[in-house]
Amino acid sequence: MMSRRFPLFALLAFLAAEAVLIQQSGVSGVKAALEHAARLLGVPYNTLVVLSGTTLLGLASGVIGSFAVLRRRALVGDAVAHAALPGLCVAFLLAGTKSFAVLLTGAAVAGLLGSFAIGAIQRYSRIKADAAIGIVLTVFYGAGIALSRRIQDDPTGRQAGLDSFLLGKTAGMVSQDILLIGLVAANVLLVTALLYKEFKLVIFDSAFARVQAWPALAIEYVLFGLLVVTAVIGLPAVGIVLMAALLIIPAVAARFWTDHLGTMLALAGFFGAVTGGAGTLASASWPELPAGPIIVIAGAIVFAVSALVAPRRGVVARLATHFRFRVRVARQNLLRTLYELSESSIDAPPRVGFEMLAAARSWSAPALRAWLAMARRRGEIEGDTHAGWRLTPAGMARAADIVRRHRLWELFLVRQADIAPDHVDRGADEIEHVVTSSMMALLERELHEVGRWPEPAVPVSVHPIPEARA
């Protein structure tokens, strides 16, 4: 059994390896590697720098944003990004320098304060999560705008470049930014891999984690710490306003494709990387367009494609499932109607006229023609519009099973739920089409055990059934 201290030891070992690697290569090594890769790929050096940065940022944002989306805290990333603005301003006022590391440190501290403020408001008040996020987002952002205006009005502060953090300045990335983003992305992925089981437990059932003596609160803070670091590191690229899009859109798009957390994390990371890379390439093709908003638009396209064509959860798949369900219900209703109209002479079922069938279910003529044509292709009915329709032997067997299901549910509703017999037809009609064979077998077994199994196999209806007119 793996020790709970193993993730900590593995993380420390990885950090030590990172430190050695940085000492050996550093920014100059990253720059040399990028220049070599640019020559091999035949792309401009600056384009490759920006492409590498946005792709790594999208990868990390997609993975860590998935936990926030599944925890129903998707807007926490937005709040953290906005909460970072006063941290940038305070860091500049205190340090009096435009140092990139100092500004991001201030942003990270403010982002963490914002994250803690959201948790404290929820924990010590009756305010819901959405309201707490809204409070923190607006208050921190308002304070940041006020401080930013104060700095911009000062002649010495106009060179701070704080405006670039609002909408991002992707084209201004340098090799030092790539090193920083790469380290953050690697650490986010490593911590996620090491604490995958702990994160999974906390986001899906934090109460159970606390009962099992897991440090749920500490794990949650580690998770939001990674979220804050990722949001802060992305501010120079896409800005405060658009960073939330990188955290939320890839994760939501991945959710359409899978129900498995591991697969979702992989897909979200892939979608985030594609979003960053595609947006950068599009921006490089149209230099007059800002890269940050184009990256977000690329993410929106990924989301739209996922929402449309993803299996099971996509719009097309859901429409197809709904259509197949409606067709199945209509076919079963047609067979049940023919059976019940022929029940008085089931051994030699009479033909039922088109008008009588249409009136029995209030079907429109085109819809009834479509259901009749489908049932005839399946060999369940025979006849035509002029002579009338009746069930074939195969159709009779299927219709008997459908009617049996319907009447068993009617019996259940009458005897167990004390519903009047003349009120159960619609209720049973809604249930029978979604009940599985295993549920029907369970119902039949329980009816046998309590001595209420009806005879014959197709019970008599609990309410009057109209008969076919000759």
**280 within 8 A of 268, measured Cβ to Cβ:** no
User: pLDDT (tens digit, 0 to 9) for every residue of the chain, 470 residues total?
Assistant: 445 566 666 666 666 666 666 666 666 777 787 788 888 888 888 888 888 888 998 999 999 999 988 887 777 777 877 888 888 888 888 877 777 778 778 888 888 888 888 888 888 888 887 888 888 888 888 888 888 888 877 766 555 566 667 767 777 777 777 888 888 888 888 888 888 988 998 888 888 888 888 888 888 888 888 888 888 888 777 777 678 888 899 999 999 999 899 999 999 999 999 998 898 888 878 777 777 788 888 999 999 999 999 988 899 999 999 999 888 888 888 998 888 888 777 777 788 888 888 888 778 889 889 999 999 999 998 888 888 888 898 988 888 888 888 887 787 777 777 777 777 777 777 777 777 777 777 777 776 776 666 565 677 676 666 665 54
The alpha-carbon radius of gyration of the chain (Å, integer) is: 32
Strand ranges, E, within 127-171: none
- What phi and psi, each to the nearest 5 degrees, are found at residue 352? -110, 130
- The closest alpha carbon to 256, from 319, 321, 307, belongs to 307
Residue 115 phi, psi dihedral angles, 5° rounding: -65, -45
Q: Model confidence over 25-66: pLDDT tens digits?
A: 666 777 787 788 888 888 888 888 888 888 998 999 999 999
Q: Give the CA count within 13 Å in the CB-facing half-sphere of 413.
A: 23
One-letter identity of residue 30: V
Q: Output the six-digit token pair for 44.
A: 């401009």
Q: What CA–CA distance (Å, rounded) separates 184 from 203?
A: 22
Show the tokens assigned to 206.
């934090």
Triad 73, 76, 82: Cα angle to 5°: 165
Residues 54/128, Cβ–Cβ less than 8 Å: no
Count of CB atoms situated within 10 Å of the CB of 69: 23
β partners of residue 384:
388
Judge residue 285's burial from the number of C-beta atoms within 10 Å of its C-beta, 0-12 exposed, 13-18 middle, 19 or more buried: exposed
pTM value > 0.85 = no
